[in-house]
Amino acid sequence: MRSEANTGLLKDFIRRSLDGPVMRELDFDLKLGRQLKLLTSEHSIRFSPEEIICDDAVADSIWQAALQLLERVGIYNTDTNRVVLLRAEEAEKAVAGAPKEITVGEGNDAVTIRARSHDSPVPPVILALPARTFRYRGGRQSLFARMMESYVSDAGPLGELARRLKDELEGIPYLAETPGEMIWARAVVRWQKAIVGLMGKPGLWLSGTQVTSPPAILALFTEEGLLNKFNSHISVSLMPELKLNWDRLRMAHAAQAMGVHTSCSADPILGAYCRTGEEAAIVAAATLLGYIAFAGASAIPNTNVVDRQGDRTTRVPLQASAAARRALERNAGMLIHGSPDTKSGLGTGVDLYELAALAVACTCSGAAWTGRGYACGLGPNGEYRPDLDCELVTMVSRGTAGLSRERANELLLKLLHICESHDAAAEGKPLDYYYDIKTLTPSRELVAIYDRVAQELQRLGIPMG
């Protein structure tokens, strides 16, 4: 998994973080905003309201603008207040050596993901964990604890593990940057490994870590029997917009030393430094180019533009994310990940149209893989979205792979018409209204909602594979 020949420009990023131009963070932000506006004008980049998936000319212009943004503005190290400038030829050389395929998982459970174009007939790989592995996220560890609690009285191996983990977690709050973060993270991974082991899939990819602090991440990879280079990856995501710190570079160095894949999510925020979708697409592409430059052969890039409410399912975020993917798949043949996260809640119905729109946009803009480790997407409050989401994303992705750009846009406009008819995100109901909290088996009511929407999607002309 590790490429000795392509460790990227990590040493250069470290050196330039120490001797690059000194700049106040506010000045960097202002320069970024000015250059984004200028580059958008110089390259005449303008999205059509009727096209969610942009054409080749727009994709190429975004690529060139992203390269120039890295040359003119660079990436800001918030710990040293210095700018890491990256020449276009450096970025292009780094991207040329980036992986065009990766293998995740081990043994019979290994899956190979290959770069694909926006019109490839081969659908993206859908990766998701079994529902009962139940990753918590963003402070919602109480639901994970409740599910484990439901197994405490069982006589089987999950009951034994649940009792042991309950004792370990008793009285220990989950707080970032504390030992509690490490204790909770280890508990989750042990639970995941027990579930996939009982399913007869011990080599299954477990997705990324539940934690962000370097000590907690490294603890998971250095403790025997937990995470390794086959079943997980380490996030070294840049901060919005075009910023990093020593933690990102430390983790990139540690990942290279261990031969572990890294990931980076480029999620520019519309309405902040990026005033338009065109500017957000440029930043997203530049972020991932910069990431590839220092991550080298271990890179797994992901992009999803969001607005200030965290919404990625309306027209402009969808356009910007798709344009960034198109720029990278067309000009670099990069592996790109797309994430199907909804804004509307579980059981509302409209959330499934959002999910379908995201699946079409990812598939038809060149995403090589999609899906999330919990087990597919998030709702408006970050709640868990289990297995049925993955089934829907899989069917839509398989059905729409290979569509022309024109046909994909027609379908996306139909889906957006439905999604945009709802002025605000529908709240939905909590997970345990629709799911048995122990087995995470969906209720008949929820299954009926998914079946109804799947039929309506087919009536809209959405191919289902």
Q: Is the pLDDT of residue 139 over 60?
A: no
pLDDT band at 174 (very low <50, low <70, confident <90, very high): confident
* The predicted structure's pLDDT at residue 117: 96
Say if residue 135's pLDDT is above 90. Answer: no
In a domain, 98, yes or no: no
Question: Where does residue 442 rank: exposed (0-12), middle (13-18), buried (19+ CB within 10 A)?
Answer: buried
Instruction: Indicate the pLDDT class of residue 140, thresholds 50, 70 and 90.
Output: low
Q: How far apart are CA 203 and CA 196, in angstroms?
A: 8
Are 314 and 320 in contact by the 8 Å Cβ rule? The answer is no
10 in any annotated domain: yes
Output the domain CATH number for residue 324: 3.20.20.460
Contact 62, 332 (CB under 8 A): no
| pLDDT at residue 130 greater than cutoff 80 | no
- Mark residue 367 as left, alpha or beta (left: phi above 0; alpha: psi -120 to 50; beta: remaining): beta
Domain assignment of residue 448, yes or no: no
Find the mean pLDDT for residues 374-398. 69
How far from the centroid of its chain's Cα atoms is residue 18's Cα?
30
Report the pLDDT value the prediction gives residue 374, as an integer from 0 to 100.
42
Residue 141 lies in a domain: no
Looking at residue 372, what is its pLDDT? 54
Domain-located, residue 325: yes
CA–CA dist 262, 252 (Å, integer) = 7
User: ω into residue 241 within 30 of 0, thus cis?
Assistant: yes
Q: How confident is residue 1, by pLDDT bands cut at 50, 70 and 90? A: very low
Q: Is beta strand 82-84 parallel, antiparallel or unpaired with respect to 75-77?
A: antiparallel
Nearest to 286 by CA among 442, 91, 148: 91
Query: pLDDT at residue 4 above 50?
Result: no
Beta bridge partners of 257: none
Cβ neighbours of residue 417 closer than 8 Å, sequence gap 6 or more: none
Give a yes or no: residue 345 inside a domain.
Answer: no
Under a CB-based contact definition with an 8 Å cutoff, are residues 196 and 206 in contact?
Answer: yes
Name the token pair of 176: 């970032």
Mean pLDDT of the chain: 88
Which pLDDT score is estimated for 134? 66
Specify if 14 maps to a domain.
Answer: yes
Q: Please provide the distance, in angstroms rounded to a whole number, between the alpha carbons at the two ends of the chain.
A: 32
Query: Model pTM?
Result: 0.92
- Residue 234 vs residue 311, higher pLDDT: 234
Q: What range defines the domain where residue 250 resides?
A: 1-92+236-334
Residue type, 355: L
* One-character DSSP codes across 35-54: HHHHHHHHTT----TT-SS-
3-state per-residue secondary structure call for 198-259: HCCCCCCCCCCCCCCCHHHHHHHHHCCCCCCCCCCCEECCCECCCEECHHHHHHHHHHHHHC
Query: Average pLDDT, stretch 191-219?
Result: 88
- Confidence check: pLDDT of 136 > 60: no
Q: Is residue 56 part of a domain?
A: yes
Comparing 141-150, 284-293, 383-392, the range with the smallest average pLDDT is 383-392
Domain count, the chain: 1
